[in-house]
Amino acid sequence: MSRENGFRDFFDQVEPIQLKEPLAETLGAFKNQGVVLEYSFIDAVKLAGHACPSVTGAYLSCQLALSALYVDDVPVRGGIRVTVYGEPDEGALGVMAQVCTFITGAAPGTGFKGLGPLFPRKDLLRFEPADAGCGGVCLGFERLDTGAAVLTRFRPGLVPFPEEKGRQLAEMMKLVVSGAASEQQAAEFRDLWMEKIELMAVEKKGINKWLELLEA
């Protein structure tokens, strides 16, 4: 496959998320009715401007939640309410929320108000205080049509990345951030960083331990 977009080859191996988009269909964006869109991992990376464990965790959380809520049906973009447990400026929650908005259509107060009563996206994404018992990054997803709801828990600290490589990654990041990294060290850092993302997004190694569905 041509890599004209410049991204790492494994990005194309990440399973895309399929969604219907009734707002776009109503306003004539599609040539035909019944179009199913694909939102890819590359799309999420483009939105965030980078690939990291948090962006990957948000993408996979949306994928897991939508699969559980819609089972054999195609999820409906704009038909989901998302709750992020924590503060917008806490860790990477703001970035993760942006990925959730991009995929589900659920937007904060700046979102689309709707066509009259139809297709509102505004205030479908909200932040609420985190439950002390969550033990990770918890995201709530609720279908607006049925009220069915699920909760995902992402625990990046449990991703089974080799300890020695984790130490190397931390050391190299300090050098890169400070501007002291050589070209070789910067390249090694990038490769290690992407190795961890591939482990999460493609291999999904030990995923049941670091990403799971909880009772909503």
The model's pLDDT over 42-55, given as tens digits with 9 standing for 90+, comes to: 999 999 999 999 99
Residues constituting the chain: 216
> Is there a contact between 84 and 126 (Cβ–Cβ < 8 Å)?
yes
pLDDT the model gives residue 4: 62
Strand ranges, E, within the chain: 17-20, 36-39, 80-85, 125-128, 137-143, 149-154, 211-214
pLDDT, one tens digit per residue, over 33-44 is 999 999 999 999
Residue 107 structure tokens: 């937007």
Residue 143, SS3 per DSSP: strand
Mean of the pLDDT values across residues 3-12?
Answer: 86
Residue 200 structure tokens: 């999460």
CA distance 89 to 113: 24
pLDDT the model gives residue 1: 44
pLDDT the model gives residue 5: 81
> Is there a contact between 147 and 108 (Cβ–Cβ < 8 Å)?
no
Radius of gyration of the chain (CA): 18
Listed by start position, the domains of the chain span 11-160+197-214
> Is there a contact between 97 and 141 (Cβ–Cβ < 8 Å)?
no
CA distance 17 to 103: 8
- Residue 133, pLDDT > 80, answer no
Give the pTM. Answer: 0.95
Residue 91, SS3 per DSSP: coil
